[in-house]
Amino acid sequence: MTVSQRPAVRPNNSHFSSGPCAKRPGWSVQALADAAIGRSHRAKLGKSKLGEVLDRSRAILGIPDDYLIGIVPASDTGAVEMALWSLLGERGVDILAWESFGDGWVTDVTKQLKLSDVRSFKAGYGQLPDLSQVDFDRDVVFTWNGTTSGVRVPNGDWIPDNRKGLVIADATSAVFAMDIAWKKTDVVTWSWQKVLGGEAAHGMLVLSPRAVARLESYKPAWPLPKIFRMTKGGKLIDGIFKGDTINTPSMLAVEDQIDALRWAEKIGGLKGLIARSEANLAALTAWVEKSSWAAFLAEDAKIRSCTSICLIIKAPFFGKLSDEDKTAAAKKIASLLDKEGIANDIGSYRDAPAGLRIWGGATVETSDIEKLTPWLDWAFAQVEAEFASKV
């Protein structure tokens, strides 16, 4: 078979989006049959289900007993914003950014909170900034895994145990797929819609004892919206971390998250989840190493994400195209595969270099990644035939 011929085998699941992500294998709406719909989330039943999400998350992830876990509004973005607005300003801030969301946190801190003592360390897509430059006497903000760049920190070894500042990690596309060094962090956030394929709009916020101490001892100079407030009268509103959510959660989404957590336990917990994600990266790596046209945006394998796997096009003709044609060619590959029902939503992020982004989180089957790769070659052949004549 030549790459211009349509492959015979199709992925069983075409959902390769980086968020909301694929549901767990075997999922059906029947998984939500026990949802506490039409009931108050503050009633005994609702609180028990919210508590189950917290308890199962802690157990699977190995979150320390003295760290608090809360369910908060507005997905990972809401969780990060709560942390930034509530905790920053007590001391200087170092922010690391190597993709769109990290850049967004830099903007929030400098232009919204208007903090003056801010140092930002940036790197281009596919790279990490120099982690050794960070001063941990200051507060530190970073993304554990760059969802739009496919770049992750290799581990938490670069973070000291005896830090004076707080470490705030946006880990939405890392939690449940990577080994988070909890004791190296003071705030960790994620959303349900990423690695476990949950429904959108709900965020998770983990606080260390040091973060709680900051909340109770420091009052920001700016007013806090109700949705961000975690203290009252200088004391932590601890109900937030016992299932008393700030606003009304979707009990359907809660039930869906419980189902995903139970599935995670059945496949071996965190080790099983990580193994599935790494197997997906390995399958794509085996294909990329033989590909004449595709390469990883992150050249260094040590910092390459196993969830948001970002590819660029290395074919000689592609490098000669205008920026507009590069974007159009990459989008055409994604649209062809979407139209065929092979892969949905795999275009690169709008601010990232033209290419593809394939989700490799734990809910994606490695066999589907392997079935996808011949179709990637097929779609590229169609695009090459159209665009190569432009150079």
| Residue with the two structure tokens 């039409």 | 38
pLDDT tens for each residue of 295-314: 999 999 999 999 999 999 99
pTM: 0.97
Cβ-contact 314, 295 below 8 angstroms:
yes
Segment holding 202, helix H or strand E: strand 202-207
Checking if the pLDDT of 1 tops 60, the result is no
pLDDT tens for each residue of 29-73: 999 999 999 999 999 999 999 999 999 999 999 999 999 999 999
Cβ-contact 72, 240 below 8 angstroms:
yes
pLDDT at 25: 98
- Average pLDDT of the chain is 97
Hey, what are 338's tokens?
């979407």
The whole-angstrom separation of Cα 275 and Cα 229 is 37
**The length of the chain, given as a count of residues:** 391
| Residue with the two structure tokens 């200051």 | 138
Checking if the pLDDT of 4 tops 70, the result is no
C-alpha separations of 214 from 83, 85, 200, 210, 222 in Å: 11, 12, 29, 6, 16
Checking if the pLDDT of 236 tops 80, the result is yes
Sign, CA torsion 285/290/295/300: positive
Checking if the pLDDT of 387 tops 60, the result is yes
Instruction: Give the count of alpha carbons within 13 A of 2, CB side only.
Output: 3
Hey, what are 17's tokens?
């989006």
For residue 270, give every residue at least 6 positions away whose Cβ sits within 8 Å of its Cβ, in sequence order, or none.
Answer: 60, 61, 62, 176, 179, 264
% of the chain at pLDDT higher than 70? 99
Backbone angles phi, psi at 164, to 5 degrees: -95, -35
The whole-angstrom separation of Cα 7 and Cα 381 is 12
pLDDT tens for each residue of 207-233: 999 999 999 999 999 999 999 999 999
% of the chain at pLDDT higher than 90? 97
Mean pLDDT of 20-29: 98
Mean pLDDT of 89-100: 97
Instruction: Give the count of alpha carbons within 13 A of 199, CB side only.
Output: 15
The CB density around residue 239, as the number of other CB atoms within 10 Å, is 13
Segment holding 73, helix H or strand E: strand 68-73
| Residue with the two structure tokens 């009990």 | 251
